[in-house]
Structure 1
Amino acid sequence: MDEHRIERRPYGDRAWPPPEAEGLPPSARLYGAPAPPSRVRVPPWLRRALVFALALAAGVALVAGSVAFVVSLLHAPGPQVDVADPAAGVSYPLPQGWRRGTVPPVTGFTSVATAGGSALVMTRPGDSVAVSGPRAATLDLADLYGRLLLHGDTVDVVDDRPITVGGYSGHSRALRASYTDVVNQPSYLRVTLLTKDDRSVVVLGLAQPDDPARRAEIDAVVRGLR
């Protein structure tokens, strides 16, 4: 009778893979399940340095935000300023950046507003135009103030038209003066004569150097007159 030799299995009754390895990848079955990472301890001095850095960054951001807010306030457009001229019986708004003046530089004018040293607007009571009419009177005034203020080597008429603003009607003429020297830049002069009932008002705008933006601002003052 043959005897069968029964060899003992090296693992005895242990099942393979072990139950705790179920669901793990093959590498984990060989080397074991990955252990959770150990908690990294941050040295106290490093923790204090991180807190200080975060506080410093927050402070810098706060200061930068405050500076930006102040700068935005400085550059924000201010309230519109009006100039009142009781002697001429009119008032007019000023464009941004313009300021009321105190003493008009030309005799007879009773109000003045300036834009730095590059432009101005003045008003004064006008004379009766019942005989000559507003256009003829405006041409005479433009010739007078052109010779008084421009002193140009050449003076050209760049605009001449009737105008109606704020219940007034009248005429407006604009001149441009050029100079042969290399120092003086072209100048711009607008003279407007407005009448209502039995009174009139003269509005004079001057810009040196001549500039489209300054022309537009002077025209805006004339259109806003009331």
Structure 2
Amino acid sequence: MHERPRRTRRPYSSGPDDPRPAAPPPGRSERETDRSRLTWPPQIPEPGDDLPPSARWYGTPIPPPPRKTGRLRRLARVLLVLAACAGIVAGMVAVIRALPEPPPPTRASDPVAGVSHPLPAGWTAGTVPPVTAFTSSAGDGGTVTVMIRPAEPATDARAAAVELSDLYARLLLHGDEVEVVDDRSIAVGGRAGHSRSVRAEYVDVVNRPAYLRVVFLAGTGARPVVVVAVAQPDDPTVRAEIETVIQGLR
């Protein structure tokens, strides 16, 4: 029986049956060899490519989202400005409220008639006279009203005052009994004229006695003026206030 000769292998064989990896080529380290096995063919960076090696594996890095601190700061500034403006406005309102109210006017003027007169306490100047043809009015808002208007020249001031008092007594008083309580000449503010006053009484118990005074002032270098004062109820205090207005005509 023939024996087969034993085959022996060289201990450091690099043949195809050798399970060990092949030795790296001359001049290259094992680390460089492992890197070259990751991709094939190996990627060569293009000129001007500054991306890091990880970008070739995971893509171009994405910049982080912008911070919102800038927007919050702007919003905070706007809120501070609004708060400051609100504080200024509130301070101005408080100062205005703290200021004393201006005193009421002490005189009323009638540019059309060319005269002015004082306002007793509690009186105000009216915007629209209650009777047609009058250009200004004033009163206390309920008890007494004084109206003024320019008039046509007249040779007899008393006759003009009597005629006007009869006219306005019929238009404004409608009294059951009307009597004259004053009839005299008057001089006011350098003007001469005549004053006539009447008092009306009523049969019914609802209407209280009323008072009417008409003054005709002739013009000395100026247009004549008619003053009509009406008060209800008739009262000495109200008559005194009417006298103050008429005596203060300028």
Question: TM exceeds 0.5?
Answer: yes
Q: Which residue of 2 aligns with 1:186?
A: 209
Separation in 1, partners of 2:136, 2:197: 20
Which letter maps to 1:83?
A
Q: Which residue of 2 aligns with 1:84?
A: 109
Aligned residues, how many? 150
Q: Which has the larger radius of gyration?
A: 2
> 1: distance between equivalents of 2:123 and 2:194?
25
**2-structure distance, mates of 1:96, 1:80:** 10
Q: 2:236 aligns with which of 190, 209, 212?
A: 212
Q: Which blocks of at least 5 consecutive residues in structure 1 are unaligned?
A: 1-72
CA displacement at 1:196 relative to structure 2: 2.0
Q: Tell me which stretches of 4 or more aligned residues in structure 1 moved more than 6 Å.
A: none
Matching of residues 1-226 of structure 1 within 5 Å: 78=103, 80-130=105-155, 133-197=156-220, 199-226=223-250
Rounded to whole Å, the distance in 2 between the matches of 1:145 and 1:156 is 14
**TM-score, normalization by structure 1:** 0.64
1:180 Cα deviation from its structure 2 partner: 0.3
TM-score relative to the length of structure 2 = 0.58
Contact 1:88 1:124 in 2 (8 A): yes
Deviations 1:126-175 (A, max 9, x none): 11102xx0000100000000000000000010000000010111000000
C-alpha distance in 2, partners of 1:79/1:109? 23
Rounded to whole Å, the distance in 1 between the matches of 2:182 and 2:107 is: 26
What residue ranges of structure 2 are gaps of 5+ in the alignment? 1-99
Shift of 1:195: 1.2
Query: RMSD of the alignment, in Å?
Result: 1.7
Question: Aligned with 1:196: secondary structure?
Answer: coil
Identity %: 59
More strand by share: 1
